[in-house]
Each structure stands twice: as C-alpha cells, then as structure tokens.
Structure 1
Amino acid sequence: MTALKAHEVARFVTRPDIADGIFLAYGPDAGLVRETAQRLIRKLSGDDPDAASIVTLDGATVDADPSILAVEAKTISLFGGKRIVRVRGAGKSLVMTLTELRDNLQGAAIVLEAGNLPPRDALRALVEAARNGRALPCYPDSDEALQTLIRETFNQQGIRVDADVVALLREILGNDREITRRELEKLSLYAATSKQLTHEDVLLLCADNGMMVIDAIIDAAAGGHAEKLELALNRALSSGVDPQRLLAMSTIHFANLRRWRTEVDAGKTPRAVLDGQRPKPHFSRAGALEQQLRLWSDNALATASARILQTTGDTRRRPALADAGLRRALLAICMMAAAH
C-alpha cells in the first residue's frame, strides 16, 4: 500500500520510484493537481520526451465509454516511446477498468487527475492498494510553501525584489497553485528586463487588487508622502483606475479617520482604537493608520474632507478635469499632513 503524504509529493514527482503504473493526483487545489500531473508526465516521458506517446482523455468521455481507457493504455506507441494516458476529471466509473489493468499495464503509465477524494473513495482506495499505484494528495499551499515558491521563482529568473514583496504577494495570492503560477509568471515577465520588482509593481500588476492600489494612494496622501503619492497616482491612473472611485474611497477614509480621532481624543491610543474596529483594518496598514491618527486633528480632517467633497462635485460636473482635480486635491491633503 502506497499513500504519500502531501509534503512528500513534490519530491516524489522529481524522482518517482516506479515508471509504469497508475498515478492519482487528487485534492481540493485544482491548480496544484494539474501542475503535479504535468510535472509527473514530463518526468515519466524520460530523456526523449518528444518520443513519448501521450494521450489525454476527459473524465466525461471515459465515463461514457470506460473501455476507451483500456484501449489507449494497451495501444503500442508507433515510435517506441513511453505510453502515457492522462485522464482529467477522473471518477469512480474508472474503478472496474483500472482493476483489470493494474497488474497488466505492459509498460504504460496512467496519470489520473481528480478532485478532493475522501479516504474511502473507491478510486483512491484502489490506487493506494495497488502495488504499482501511487496516490498523490494535492492540498493548498501552506504559508511557508507559498513563500518558498515565490522566492524560488524570482531567484531562478535573477529578479531582485523589495523586502516586503514576498509578504505582500502572500496576502494577495490565494491558495490555488494555478493562479499563483500565473501571477508569478506575469510578474517575472514584467521584470524580465529590469530584473527588479517593487512593492508598487505588485500592487499595479496583480489584477484583482484594486483596493490595495487605492489604499496605497490614500495612505500616501494622508501620511504626507508626496513622492509615493505621485508614483502611486501615475501608475493607477495610467492603468485605468477611475478618479471618481479614488475620490469616493478617500471620502470614506477621512470619515473613518474623523470617527476614530474622536476615540483618540477621548483618551484611547491609536492602536487600541484600530484594534477595536470590526472589521479590523488589515495588519499591513496598521502602522500607516496609527501615524495618520497622530498627525491629524479633527479640525484638519474636517478641512480635508471638505476639500475632497468639493473636488468630487467639481469633477462630476466637468469629467474631463477629473484626473487633474484628483491630483490637486490629494496633493493639497498630502501637504497638510506633511506640515504637521
């Protein structure tokens, strides 16, 4: 019986202990399941992958005609290369056919991809019990594994990253390996010439993170960081972020600061005020928000809020001036913060 642990799968794929057999990659991380199957197939293909005979079947096709799997597995390669049959979306309908094949594979390898299978699942149980079967569990990356993947990806490309890029990507990326790979490939391509990747690059390029871009702009303005504000605004506006959205989010932010400032004036520390919020502000912004609560008085926050509301009204009446109006308003607020 061979049932690998999740942490053993990566090592197994680089050095499988059998070349012929039934391999089952399964788990809730569909991206990692696909990647594991692909890496295993490359390894099983041997020194001459072009000579390998690789057939890919869809689970639904095999469900409709289970015998097709046996036919493909037993077909001799015309060029003498390794015979590999890959089945995507494998299910329990394959159990009978695999039971007949497992002891008579004639040099072929069958690589199955499946979802999250419980221990008593018939397909998983068959593969784990087979002498020439290997079950490869694919579970979402741990924080440590994801950070290692990020570092290794950039190191292999010779790309230098800002100190906080790895932690930032860990917060941005989910636990689907396919999505993670796609985002890392995009960032690597972007930095292929400069060999440098900054915090701002990540915020700009990771598509689903518009709020993080907006937070960076607002925190630069409210914190009095003019250079960061200019850089963040240039990148956001050039990539199509709506100025009205930025103004609306700025309005909300300064309204929150006024509400929190009231608690600070009543005797609470900025950290205690932020810790008491529900939902609690993201930990990556805690330092910036504390600084802002120390910088701004209620009167100053009221002035900043009024400036944003005035700009919002003006730019709605004259949309062509939205970019310029937004820049002037946030720069003015930034100068107020810097003067404190």
Structure 2
Amino acid sequence: MVALKAHEVPRFVGRPDMVAGIFLAYGPDAGLVRETVQRLIRHLSGDDPEGANITVLDAAELATDPGRLVLEARSASLFGGKRIVRVRGAGKNLVMPLTELRDAPGDAAIVLEADNLPPRDALRALVEAAKTGRALPCYPDSDETLTALMRETFNQAGIRVEADVVPVLREILGNDREITRRELEKLVLFAAQTKTLTREDVLTLCADNGMLAIDAILDATGGGHAEKLELALNRALAASVNQQQLLAMLTNHFAQLRRWRAEVDEGRPPRAVLEAQRPKPHFSRLGALEQQLRLWSDPALATAAERLLVATSETRRRPALAEAVLRRTALSLCMQAAQH
C-alpha cells in the first residue's frame, strides 16, 4: 500500500517509481490536479513524448460502457509508443473495471483525474490499496508553497522582483494552481525585456483579482468610512475573494497598526514610523495609514483584535454565515473608528 502525502506529489511526478498501473490525481484544486496529471504524463511518455499513444476519455463516456476502459488499457499501441489512458472526471463508476486492471495492469498507464475524495471513497481506496496503484492528493497551495512557486518562476525567468512584490502577489492570488500559473505567466511575459517587476506592475496587471478592493476594505474599516467600506466589500466579494481570507487580512492589518502604534506611543511621528518600514507601505496608502494611527489607541486596537478573532472563530464554526459575520464585524470596527 502506497499513500503519498500532498507534499510528496511534486517529487513523485518528477520521478515516478513505476511506469505502468493506475495513477489517481485528486483534490479540491482542479488546476493543480490537471497540472499534476500533465507533468506525470510527460514523464511516463519517456524519451519519445511525441510517440506516446495517449487516449483521453471522459468519465461520462464510460458511465454507460465502463468496460471500454479495460479495452483501451489493453489495446496494443499501433506505433509502439507508451500506452497511456487518461480519464477525466473519474468516479466510483470506474471501480469495477479498475479492479480488473489492478490485478492485471499490463504495460499501460491509466491516469485518472478526480475531484476531492474522502478517505473512504471506493475509487481512492482501491488505488491506494493496489500494488500497482498510486494516489496523488492535490490540495490548494499554502502560503509557503505559493511563495516558493512565485520565487522559483521569477528566478527561472531571470526576473528581479522588488521586496514587496511577492507579499502583494500572495494577497492577490487565490489557491487555484491554474489561475496562479496564468497570472505568473502574464507577469513573466510583461517583464521579459526589463527583467524587473515592481508592486505597481503587479497591481496594474493583476489587481482585477481583488487587491485594490482589499486595500480599500482595510483602509475604509480602519479609517471609519462606512460608504467606502460597503463598496469595497461588494467589489471584493463579487471577485470571489474568500470571506475568511478577508477576515485574516483585517486581523493582520489591525495587528500591524498596533505594532506601529506602539512606536507612536514612544514618541515617534506616525509618518516617520511608516517611512521606516521595510517594505514601506505604498505611497498611495501613507495618508490613510497615518490617519488610522492617529484614530486608534493601543487599547482600542487590542479590542479590535479580540473582535476579529471571535469573528474568525464564528465563521469556521458556521461557514454559511461567513459573509454576514464579515460585514457585521468590519462595519462595527468602521463605526468605532468614525467615533474618534
């Protein structure tokens, strides 16, 4: 039995330990599932990828004729290349034909793409238990893996990025690998001649993903501007920015304000505190942040942090209410700022 961990999958697809049998890539990140399958097939094709005999099927096609999978897997390659059968949208209807192939896989590689599968799912259980099976979990990028992917992409292209490019891009991007790849490719193409990327470049090219709206949410909340907050929240949510992500960013924002406020309480002017930061906040936000440092005291920021932690906990317990909790909490903090 071979059950790979998610962090082991990239290394596995680069050097798979078998060239025939059943491979199942599954997970909630459809883009990462597809990318994993594509990389795996490239390696399974060997030294002659053009000569590989690849058949692509859809699980819907096999629903009425599951035996076709066995037939395709056992068909001889007409031109002698590696026999690969790729099945999209794989599900439990393939368990029976795969049981037969598991016991006698032959020389073919059966590569399956599936959505997220729980541990007791029949398809996942079959592949994990098979001697000639490998299950490849594909879960959304973490902050660490996404940051590593960005740096690797820019380094390979020989592009120098300013210090705040990666943090800003991390806030913009979601966790879908396919979308991430598209955005990185766009940035690499943009910087192909200059070999340099700035924060302004990222915002100009990628801000449609919600970054500008997120900055507006943070500054409207901290600055006490209720109408601007409503518009920014509507824009971010319409762009499918996750509600819990927004709460996390509000939490980080108020934590940062509190750290800066401690320096202000020691006697430093707010603008001097902001100018000394590395990376320095974008010049377009300096005025708004300076105003927030004047509005919020340390005790008030501590209370705001507690309120955000309670809200985050509530959204985790009751995900269906996440948007309502986000709006209620942000507006409450906004009104608190407006009263100062």
Do they superpose with TM above 0.5? yes
Q: 1:98 to 1:147 in 2, by over 3 A?
A: same
**Residue aligning to 1:263:** none
Q: Letter of the aligned partner of 1:135 in structure 2? A: A
Q: 2: CA distance between counterparts of 1:55 and 1:207?
A: 39
**Residue aligning to 2:301:** none
Equivalent residue runs for 1:302-313 within 5 Å: none
Aligned-partner SS, 2:70: helix
**Residue aligning to 1:260:** none
Instruction: Please say if residues 204 and 213 of structure 1, whose CA atoms lie closer than 8 Å, have aligned partners that are also in contact.
Output: no
Instruction: Please say if residues 154 and 188 of structure 1, whose CA atoms lie closer than 8 Å, have aligned partners that are also in contact.
Output: yes
Q: Letter of the aligned partner of 2:128 in structure 1? A: E
- Deviation of 1:207 (Å): 5.1
Q: 2: CA distance between counterparts of 1:149 and 1:51?
A: 31
**Residues 173-202 of structure 1: per-residue CA shift (max 9 Å, x gap):** 111111111111111111111111110010
- Deviation of 1:27 (Å): 0.7
Instruction: Please say if residues 203 and 213 of structure 1, whose CA atoms lie closer than 8 Å, have aligned partners that are also in contact.
Output: no
Q: 1:104 to 1:195 in 2, by over 3 A?
A: same
Instruction: Please say if residues 26 and 136 of structure 2, whose CA atoms lie closer than 8 Å, have aligned partners that are also in contact.
Output: yes
**Residue aligning to 2:134:** 134
Q: Letter of the aligned partner of 1:149 in structure 2? A: L
Q: 1: CA distance between counterparts of 2:124 and 2:68?
A: 20
Q: 2: CA distance between counterparts of 1:210 and 1:131?
A: 46
Q: 2: CA distance between counterparts of 1:169 and 1:150?
A: 9
- Deviation of 1:290 (Å): 3.1
**Residues 98-118 of structure 1: per-residue CA shift (max 9 Å, x gap):** 001112222100000001101
**Residue aligning to 1:266:** none
**Residue aligning to 2:95:** 95
Find out whether 1:35 has 2:35 as its counterpart: yes
Q: Letter of the aligned partner of 2:111 in structure 1? A: V
Equivalent residue runs for 1:131-280 within 5 Å: 131-206=131-206, 208-209=208-209, 212=212, 271=257
Equivalent residue runs for 1:9-88 within 5 Å: 9-88=9-88
| Runs (4+) off by over 2 Å | 207-211, 213-216, 284-290, 292-296
**Residues 129-162 of structure 1: per-residue CA shift (max 9 Å, x gap):** 1000000001111111100000000111111111
Aligned-partner SS, 2:112: strand
Aligned-partner SS, 1:13: helix
**Residue aligning to 1:291:** 290
Q: Letter of the aligned partner of 1:290 in structure 2? A: L
**Residues 312-336 of structure 1: per-residue CA shift (max 9 Å, x gap):** xxxxxxxxxxxxxxxxxxxxxxxxx
- With 194-203 and 207-216 compared, the bigger mean Cα shift is at 207-216
- CA root-mean-square deviation: 2.9
**Residues 39-90 of structure 1: per-residue CA shift (max 9 Å, x gap):** 0000000011011001111111111211111111111111111000000100
Q: 1:98 to 1:110 in 2, by over 3 A?
A: same
Q: 2: CA distance between counterparts of 1:128 and 1:293?
A: 54
Q: Letter of the aligned partner of 1:289 in structure 2? A: A
Find out whether 1:125 has 2:125 as its counterpart: yes
Q: 2: CA distance between counterparts of 1:214 and 1:96?
A: 49
Instruction: Please say if residues 159 and 195 of structure 2, whose CA atoms lie closer than 8 Å, have aligned partners that are also in contact.
Output: yes
Q: 1:20 to 1:288 in 2, by over 3 A?
A: farther
- Deviation of 1:288 (Å): 5.5
Q: 2: CA distance between counterparts of 1:16 and 1:214?
A: 41
Unaligned residue ranges in structure 1 (runs of 5+): 220-247, 254-269, 276-283, 297-340
Quick one: percent identity of the two aligned structures?
70
Unaligned residue ranges in structure 2 (runs of 5+): 220-226, 233-255, 262-280, 296-340
Q: 1: CA distance between counterparts of 2:166 and 2:211?
A: 19
**Residues 5-42 of structure 1: per-residue CA shift (max 9 Å, x gap):** 11110111111111101000001111111110110000
- Deviation of 1:291 (Å): 1.7
Q: 2: CA distance between counterparts of 1:110 and 1:17?
A: 15
**Residue aligning to 2:265:** none
Q: 1:206 to 1:271 in 2, by over 3 A?
A: closer
Q: Which has the larger radius of gyration?
A: 1
Q: TM-score, normalised by structure 2?
A: 0.65
Q: Letter of the aligned partner of 1:34 in structure 2? A: R
